[in-house]
């Protein structure tokens, strides 16, 4: 029998690699979807692992072929939303399943929720009445946003998905990126997600070059983690919600990699590796508005941190 007052949670076992520490954290805290993703990406789960990830993801799918049910933890409730569906496409892309009839049906959903200019809002009014993060406003007639549209269009182009919805959505992304004179980190990341896979490579490279100059001019990337006070946090972001070179250049092949020197990139990756906490997981940097959402987000952030480190050639164990 356990002693009175003993901790109900098992202690973190001694571990010598970031990966083994993260594995303990994932089994202790993660949703089934993130558990399946961790196995697929890091525990030799390729053989049958993609099926397990897709099965777990299907629990979030709705009859309209969109995704809901807090797949993106900052939006609670059952209703389909573009941000949930973008998350689902990222998961499918990461396991090599972003194509075929499944994605054709997703494109029909995207068509049905598009604005008049053919692009995506971040959140539709159906979210009203369900809990959601206070920094994601719900309005009756939401505008098109590069933040929501860019990553989706980029993923579909990268996987050579061709659907009528893509034509106008692609035009919207080009126009939105070309008109950026001032931006914020998440919008820039959405632009990079589009540019990294846009079919017109010369135009994408030219746009990325201009965007990189904007990022440096407006200090949207914290280039020295030891001097964070020199880099302002964007308006509306949480205190300390800085973005680093690895947030923009998630892989060495990203167009955003050219924005940073080798030294700047190395410093940011050192910082990312050192951010692993004693429990084995990585922290979230945005505002935690409810205990459950923070708990659900940390395994997601942990998986992405490990994938980023590995993509850049860092040893994770």
For tokens 């979230």, name the residue.
284
The residues, any chain, with a CB within 8 Å of residue 185's CB and separated by 6 or more, are 220, 221, 234, 237, 243, 247, 248
Q: Which SS3 state, helix, strand or coil, does residue 8 take?
A: coil
Mean pLDDT, to the nearest integer, of 15-33? 94
Q: At what angle do helices 185-195 and 201-217 cross, to 10 degrees?
A: 160
Q: Give the whole-angstrom CA distance, residue 68 versus residue 88.
A: 10
Mean pLDDT, to the nearest integer, of 245-274? 98
Which 8-state DSSP code applies to residue 139? -
Q: Identify whether the C-beta of residue 312 lies closer than 8 Å to the C-beta of residue 251.
A: yes
pLDDT tens digit string along 49-58?
999 999 999 9
Mean pLDDT, to the nearest integer, of 183-187? 96
Band (8; pLDDT cuts 50, 70, 90): low
pLDDT at 48: 72
Closest CA to 242 of 225, 260, 263, 262: 225
Q: Give the whole-angstrom CA distance, residue 222 versus residue 225.
A: 6
Residue 3 has pLDDT above 50, yes or no: no
Compute CA distances 4 → 9, 61, 97, 235, whole Å: 14, 43, 49, 48
Share the mean pLDDT of the chain: 94
Q: Give the whole-angstrom CA distance, residue 127 versus residue 78.
A: 9
pLDDT tens digit string along 70-100?
999 999 999 999 999 999 999 999 999 999 9
Mean pLDDT, to the nearest integer, of 298-309? 98
pLDDT at 14: 52
pLDDT at 160: 96
Phi, then psi, of 257 in degrees rounded to 5: -60, -30
Which 8-state DSSP code applies to residue 229? G
Q: Give the whole-angstrom CA distance, residue 80 versus residue 91.
A: 16
pLDDT at 44: 76
pLDDT tens digit string along 36-47?
999 999 997 656
Query: Tokens representing 127?
Result: 């979210």
pLDDT at 47: 60
Residue 132 has pLDDT above 80, yes or no: yes
Closest CA to 157 of 172, 147, 167, 148: 167
β-sheet bridge partners, residue 75: 132
* Cβ atoms within 10 Å, residue 8: 5
Distance of CA 167 to the CA centre of its chain: 24
């Amino acid at each position: 029998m356990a002693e009175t007052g003993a901790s109900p949670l098992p202690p973190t076992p001694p571990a010598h690699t970031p990966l083994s520490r993260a594995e303990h954290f994932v089994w202790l805290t993660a949703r089934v979807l993130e558990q399946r993703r961790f196995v697929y990406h890091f525990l030799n789960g390729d053989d049958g692992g993609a099926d397990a990830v897709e099965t777990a993801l299907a629990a979030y799918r709705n009859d309209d072929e969109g995704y809901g049910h807090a797949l993106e933890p900052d939006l609670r409730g059952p209703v389909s939303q573009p941000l949930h569906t973008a998350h689902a496409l990222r998961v499918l892309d990461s396991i090599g399943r972003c194509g075929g009839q499944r994605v054709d049906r997703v494109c029909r959903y995207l068509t049905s929720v598009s604005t008049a200019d053919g692009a995506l809002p971040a959140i539709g009014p159906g979210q009203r009445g369900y809990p959601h993060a206070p920094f994601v406003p719900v309005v009756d007639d939401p505008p098109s946003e590069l933040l929501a549209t860019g990553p989706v269009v980029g993923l579909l182009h990268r996987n050579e998905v061709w659907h009528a919805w893509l034509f106008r959505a692609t035009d919207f992304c080009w126009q939105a990126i070309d008109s950026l004179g001032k931006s914020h980190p998440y919008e820039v990341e959405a632009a990079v997600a589009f540019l990294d896979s846009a079919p017109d490579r010369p135009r994408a490279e030219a746009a990325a070059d201009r965007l990189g100059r904007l990022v440096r001019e407006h200090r949207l990337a914290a280039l020295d983690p030891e001097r964070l006070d020199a880099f302002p946090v964007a308006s509306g972001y949480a205190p300390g919600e800085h973005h680093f070179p690895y947030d923009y250049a998630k892989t060495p092949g990203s167009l955003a990699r050219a924005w940073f020197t080798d030294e700047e990139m190395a410093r940011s990756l050192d910082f990312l590796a050192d951010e692993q906490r004693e429990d084995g997981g990585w922290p979230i940097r945005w505002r935690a508005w409810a205990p459950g959402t923070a708990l659900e987000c940390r395994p997601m952030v942990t998986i992405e941190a490990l994938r980023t480190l590995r993509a850049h050639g860092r040893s994770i164990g």
